[in-house]
Amino acid sequence: MLPPDVEVVDGGTLGYRLLPIVTDCVHLIVIDTIKVNDTPGSIYRFTREEMEMHLPPPTSAHEVEFFDVLVKAELMGAAPETVFLCIVPEKYGTMNIEMTSLMKDRFHAMKELLLSELANKEITTVMSVDA
């Protein structure tokens, strides 16, 4: 269980509708997949600055990526401290919402990394989330 001042949001396709959520927080932890040339299931932790090095170039002025939301928050002077916890998936571009067996196997490691990040922010949790 998370404390009342911690909010979990599935930001998937919200685009700029995430802006008030992002600008209203002090610490932001983003959990996502990352497309890098590494073994599927590899887990990374990046600061916002480190994550910038792994972003693809923009594809269109009409597509809003999450990093665009962070840039907008920064321009507003309201960007929170941000950490990215990322995992390399087995396949990219699939619309299957089921976790593969590899992702299920790596779930515990990602959960532990998240709990460590929360502890670093002195946020105590009682987690009972299992894959």
Count CB atoms within 10 A of the CB of residue 106.
20
Q: What is the pLDDT of residue 131?
A: 42
CB distance 125 to 115 below 8 Å: yes
pLDDT band (50, 70, 90) for residue 44? very high
CATH 3.40.50.1450 given to domain 15-120: yes
Q: How does pLDDT run across 60-117, given as a tens digit for each residue?
A: 666 778 888 888 999 999 999 999 999 999 877 766 678 889 999 999 999 999 999 9
27-33 and 43-47 beta bridge pairing = unpaired
- The whole-number average pLDDT for the span 44-54 is 88
CB distance 87 to 103 below 8 Å: yes
**pLDDT for residue 125 is more than 70:** no
Distance CA 4, CA 1 (A): 9
| Domain-wise residue ranges, the chain | 15-120
Q: Which residues contact 73 (CB under 8 A, 6 or more apart)?
A: 19, 22, 23, 79, 80
**pLDDT for residue 31 is more than 80:** yes
pLDDT band (50, 70, 90) for residue 59? low
Average pLDDT, the chain: 85
Among 41-45, 49-53, 56-60, 118-122, name the most confident range: 41-45
Q: How far is CA 116 from CA 1, 20, 34, 110, 122, in A?
A: 15, 26, 20, 10, 10
Consecutive H or E run containing 42 = none
